[in-house]
Amino acid sequence: MHVLDDFLIYYLQRFDKYCFDVVICGKEYRIGKGEPVCRVIFHKDIPKKELLTSTSLALGEAYMRGDIEVEGDMFTVLKGLLEQIDQFSLDRNAVASLLYPPEDKSTQREEVCSHYDLGNDFYKLWLDPTLSYSCAYFKNDNDTLEEAQKNKVHYILEKLHLEKGMSLLDIGCGWGYLLIEAAKKYGVKGYGCTLSHEQWEMGQERIKALGLEGQVQIDLLDYRDLPKKGMTFDRAVSVAMLEHVGRSQYERYMSVVEQVLKDKGLFLLHFISGRDKVNSNPWMRKYIFPGGTLPTMYEMLEIAYKGQFQLLDVESLRRHYYKTLSCWYHNFQKARGQVEAKMGSEFVRMWDLYLCGCAAAFYIGYIDVDQMLFTKGTNNDLPMTRWY
């Protein structure tokens, strides 16, 4: 056996919670005890240095290149790996630029656009028609993805306790669906901001098509510049945007919302949360969400209470996000040929890992998604129980 082969097998033995077969350069080995759940074929060895620097980068990049093939269910494989993530190696100094990038405006604009400006046509292939790119809400087991995304939007709007004539701010508004629904159903005046030109462009098209130009406005704007607009709002919402803010900017982010929200106003913060403050996935930060950082629920609550915010409600939608990602993954597989023809095989294998891996991460509770509802100051006029 080649020295590198020998180390790879030795290294893989640490992931023995589930039995699986490994094939390296034509030779087959078994890891763990029992009946194998899958067969992993290594067409090329992975250097020891790469595995020890970052397991997620080494295995992820090898899969993207096609150096690794999986015979078996991808979700089962990734779930099994993530359940043993404490066995991953990570040299933080060697990948510091990925884990701790600058969090200034220009850098974050580039990072956001690198993901969301892949093209509206790309996202239309596998998202639902609302183009909602965040956790859906499945009221019923047989809800379609589109139904569940509409459920999510209206669930949020109900939590915000909107009334006709109110003003609503959506920070990181995506393609504008939530603002448009709020304007149509509740008669509010909506304002949204995004850093993605593609999202902004489609948002303008949607607003114009519905004749909502005087009621809904979306700007290409960094949230940090909101106070300069001189506007204040009765309600504010942010869905799946906080993950792009960066840990050094959380206090500033909450301060901005506090500045532009009227007294007694409501703020709903919807975000993917981590279990701790440690950034630990270089592959995700290099290929999917550059600069992405997962806040914890407890640090956001602590920051909120440094200001005028008071918590009204908090809810975990983790299981809903597992199901959402499963839908996206299956939709993506249906469009895989189209995407590969345009973007290449490495790109589609990368998105396989991203969508299926995130589904597994939510399924096992490695990450969560939370909705936190705050008031600015005391608001005793609201119902005393969950009214939605």
Query: Which residues are identified as catalytic?
Result: 358
Task: Give one DSSP letter per residue of 332-374, joined into a string.
Answer: HHHTHHHHHHHH-HHHHHHHHHHHHHHHHHHHHTSSEEEEEEE
Q: Report how far apart, in Å, the C-alpha atoms of 386 and of each of 35, 234, 261, 280, 373 are.
A: 48, 20, 22, 36, 11
For residues 234 and 261, give the distance between their C-alpha atoms in angstroms, rounded to a whole number.
6
Residue 51 DSSP SS3: helix
243: DSSP letter: G
339 to 122, 175, 343, 348, 356: CA distances (angstroms): 7, 21, 6, 7, 17
Collapsing DSSP to helix, strand or coil, 311 comes out as strand
Tokens of 181: 């629904």
Find the angle CA(282)-CA(285)-CA(291) to the nearest 5 degrees.
125
Nearest to 247 by CA among 294, 290, 288: 294
Q: Could you tell me if 324 and 140 are in contact, meaning their C-beta atoms sit under 8 angstroms apart? A: no
